[in-house]
């Protein structure tokens, strides 16, 4: 199903369902389609909210992990959200951690899947080969264990992004910011429940990254999904949703 993109003030977002809020943060090439199965599953028992991150709309100075975390902070204040669950994939996980470190009292739990913040094989340094569709297709397929998950629509979307010179520059700026903004020394400060859901075949944030997160986050639990790459909620949605449902159930109350 297609979801209505709402606008309130300067913020664009999707909101479906009622109940405890879950705020979903997408990654560098994150489209709403990335969370389709997750929204369909959780909107029956939760209020699912996805702010559309202004990856290409901030000034170059603000185009950073910190700049996007500030945007999320303003969105949450604008929507008057509190005591919500936070979930982030890839760069979205990194942004979620930066937000949580400053506003831990607002967050009930945080779920990370393929998150940056410690180490990633960045696409951004070499990614934008403008005009080379096959190269972009191959790079997009590397996100997944099964390359067939990289549909033509998804590849077309990424191709459109990297063929815009300004968008390509901002992708590189964000990728470099993610590499510089290492959270290794700060993660021990997070005391709320953390769920790590990781693809065993993730080549962008490999399994060792999940293990390091698990070691540095004292309240974390780690779940592996086999035959799965960097975006488990897209590639293996049923198993992902089962793990997340069980985790959220433990965090209720």
Domains delineated in the chain: 6-118+182-250 (3.40.50.1820)
Dihedral (C-alpha) 36, 37, 40, 44: value to the nearest 10 degrees?
Answer: -130
The 10 Å Cβ neighbour count of residue 146 is 13
Q: How does pLDDT run along the chain (253 residues), one tens digit per residue?
A: 578 899 999 999 999 999 999 999 998 877 677 899 999 999 999 999 999 999 989 888 899 999 999 999 999 999 999 999 999 999 999 999 999 999 999 999 999 999 999 987 764 445 455 668 888 888 888 899 999 999 998 889 888 888 888 888 888 888 889 888 999 999 999 999 999 999 999 999 999 999 999 999 999 999 999 999 999 999 999 999 999 999 999 997 6
- The beta strands (E) that lie in the chain are given as 6-8, 11-16, 20-25, 46-51, 84-89, 107-113, 194-199, 220-225
* Ramachandran angles phi, psi of 165, nearest 5°: -60, -45
Supply the pTM of this predicted model. 0.94
Q: What is the pLDDT of residue 87?
A: 98
* Ramachandran angles phi, psi of 89, nearest 5°: -105, 135
Q: Which residue in the block uniquely carries the two structure tokens 């699912």? A: 48
Q: What is the pLDDT of residue 160?
A: 86
The 10 Å Cβ neighbour count of residue 251 is 14
In DSSP notation, 17-51 reads --SEEEEEE--TT--GGGGHHHHHHHTTTEEEEEE
Residues 13 and 52: beta-carbon distance below 8 Å? yes
Residues 92 and 26: beta-carbon distance below 8 Å? yes
User: From residue 129, how far is each of 63, 115, 165 by CA, in Å?
Assistant: 21, 24, 10
User: From residue 138, how far is each of 51, 130, 144, 161, 230 by CA, in Å?
Assistant: 28, 14, 11, 15, 15
């Amino acid at each position: 199903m297609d979801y209505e993109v709402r606008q309130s003030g300067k913020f664009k977002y999707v909101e479906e369902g009622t109940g405890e809020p879950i705020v979903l943060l997408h990654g560098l090439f994150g489209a709403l389609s990335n969370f389709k199965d997750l929204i369909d599953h959780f909107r029956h028992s939760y209020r699912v909210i996805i702010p559309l991150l202004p990856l290409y709309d901030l000034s170059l100075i603000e185009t950073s992990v910190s700049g996007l975390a500030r945007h999320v902070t303003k969105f949450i204040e604008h929507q008057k959200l509190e005591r919500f669950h936070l979930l982030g994939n890839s760069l979205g996980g990194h942004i979620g951690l930066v937000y949580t470190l400053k506003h831990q009292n607002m967050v009930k739990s945080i779920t990370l899947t393929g998150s940056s913040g410690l180490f990633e094989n960045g696409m951004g340094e070499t990614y934008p080969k403008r005009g080379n569709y096959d190269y972009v297709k191959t790079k997009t397929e590397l996100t997944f264990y099964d390359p067939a998950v990289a549909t033509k629509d998804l590849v077309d979307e990424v191709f459109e992004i990297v063929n815009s010179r300004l968008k390509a520059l901002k992708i590189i700026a964000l990728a470099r910011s993610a590499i510089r903004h290492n959270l290794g020394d700060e993660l021990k400060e997070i005391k709320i429940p953390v769920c790590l859901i990781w693809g065993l075949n993730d080549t962008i944030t490999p399994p060792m990254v999940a293990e390091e997160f698990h070691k540095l986050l004292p309240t974390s639990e780690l779940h592996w999904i086999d035959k799965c790459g960097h975006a488990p909620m897209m590639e293996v949605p049923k198993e992902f949703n089962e793990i997340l449902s069980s985790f959220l159930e433990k965090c209720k109350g």
